[in-house]
A and B are shown apart, each in its own frame.
Chain A
Amino acid sequence: MDSFFVRFKNPLVLVIVVLLQTIGLAVQVQRAAGPAGDPADGRKISQLRYWSTMLVTPIERVLHGGGSRVRNVWSNYVDLRHTRQQNRDLQNEIARLREEQAAFAEDAEQGRRVQALLGFQHQYIATTVAAQVVGTSGSDRSRLLLIDKGLKDGLKPDQAVITPDGIVGKLRDVWDHTAQLLLINDSTAGAGVILESTRIRGIIRGAANGKVEINNLTSDSRIKPGEHVITSGGDGVFPRGLPVGVIESIVPDPEHQPYTAITIKPAADLARLEEVLVVTGTQTTLPEQAAQDADIAAATANAKRAADLAADKLPSIHDGEPPADPAAAGATPAGPTPTVVPRPQPALHPDRYTPGVTPPAADLTPGAPKGTTLPNPVTPSPAAPHPPESDASPKPQT
């Protein structure tokens, strides 16, 4: 018997090691697929994951810090030559966005009123924590990142992670000073979404090839490539209305007929994430800053509407002015609209009712025949601005 174990010592060790791991694997899979359906790890597994992460995260932080310093030197001292132009462009864009914001403010306010009437609880992002990506899972089968913030910074599992471009994923395991970020293109990730124009609801999932797909919708002619996809808020993780991406392609899913595989190009660049925002708090009312912006936009919209109204009622106030240059208009930050006092145009054919041609009352003689005191009609002064013919000519009587 001893000779058997000695002779087959090597394969026996392999079998035992593989068997133990298989049993461990089965326990983990059973736990995830059980009635509770809890995808989170058990305490011991979580502890193992913690030690694995702690082994590499401190070194990754050091490497990331060194890399950041080098990049900062480049970006702060070398790559500043286009900053002035970029600043101008950004200011122009801010002005343009303010104009757009003013245009949308009324619709938004109306939407909020309707939502309030319906008792709809909209979740607005209230607080976020900025975090740096310091590492990856190192596997092409797992889309998972490590970030440099954790429990000590107020992070918790299942919190949404976003960038200004769109959603990125959610937190999986969170430890004191680090956390795992599960990207939306991981095959175990998912989120509730709405197709922006058609308002069709779906669920995005990560595919094995790292793409993001919706595969729970049947074929629908209304769904077209290029349509924007936003979060629905129904998953309880991502607040409603955040950009997810754009539909890239729609093909029949051969493995899940009659459903279609709708591939989405994520709005956030998931392959080049540097900084992310973890949504640590939401609220049902607009955040203070956003409310102020909305008020400003509403005031701007009101002023613009008043100016438009005045322009409609008094079309002559813009007569003779050169057409506004759209670029110049965009470059001017939106502010209070200046008050314009309308002035009467000089008459083409002055008569006795024309201001300035009637003699003072002291010069008039009571009982005098008509025409004896009426001076000759005054022709317009050459210095006076001549109105454009097209605007000044009377409308033909119909």
Chain B
Amino acid sequence: MPEHSYTSRQELDQYVFHGAVTVLVPVAAVLLQSVLPRLWGRLEILDLPLIVVIYFAVSRRNPIAGTITGTVIGLLQDGLTGRPFGINGIAKAIIGYIAASLGFAVDVDNLINRVAMNFIFCLLQSALLYAIARFLVADPDAHLRPLYQLIKAACNTVVAMPIFFVLDNFRHRD
């Protein structure tokens, strides 16, 4: 009986996206992430690919899909930086997995949940990036900068809300 209940919840809440949306939205996010700081340098505080990873992961509620989505988007981001491949890939893979797993536990369509989720995942990603840079890459210049990370998480949360509402229009039940 619990097995049946679990399947029902999964079937009820899982969303799917058109193939074009699955490809174009992450590419658009990475593209905007690359272009916006050129218009105004302070916009580099945003992490649009992270917002997209969180959204797709919680909407699909599939940890494997969340992991792969996070990995692909993260590696794409790494390709645009001068850093080794895998820094963003690992961080976003973990975020995608946790976000998809969280989708089973909370109502991710609720605004307050979305705000809390984005804020926490942004901080978590900063911690992961710091840990990777410090312990895997052995970068001596890696610093956590807590205040900056809090501001960054707040800014990304504010930007994520309208993006989530826009992307809601492209999802449909399986």
Contact = CB atoms under 8 A, between A and B. Distances in A.
Query: Do these two chains really belong together in a complex?
Result: yes
Interface in B91-147: 93-94, 97, 101, 129, 132-133, 136-139, 141-143, 145
A29 interface: yes
A135 B82 contact: no
A139 B81 contact: yes
B136 A14 contact: no
A17 B75 CA distance: 12
A105 interface: no
Interface residues of A, number: 51
Nearest to A183: B82
Interface in A187-217: 187-188, 207-209
A135 B80 CA distance: 10
B38 A133 contact: yes
A115 interface: no
Would you call the interface of chain A mostly helix, strand, loop, or mixed?
A: helix
A133 B93 CA distance: 31
A18 B86 CA distance: 9
A278 to B, nearest CB: 17
A8 to B, nearest CB: 11
A207 B67 contact: no
Nearest to B28: A59
A62 to B, nearest CB: 11
A21 B132 CA distance: 11
B71 interface: yes
Nearest to B80: A137
A358 interface: no
Interface of A: 9-11, 13-14, 17-18, 21-22, 24-26, 28-29, 32-33, 45, 48-49, 51-53, 55-56, 59-60, 63, 133-142, 144-146, 172, 180, 182, 186-188, 207-209, 271-272
6 contacts: A13-B64, A21-B86, A21-B90, A24-B85, A29-B138, A138-B80
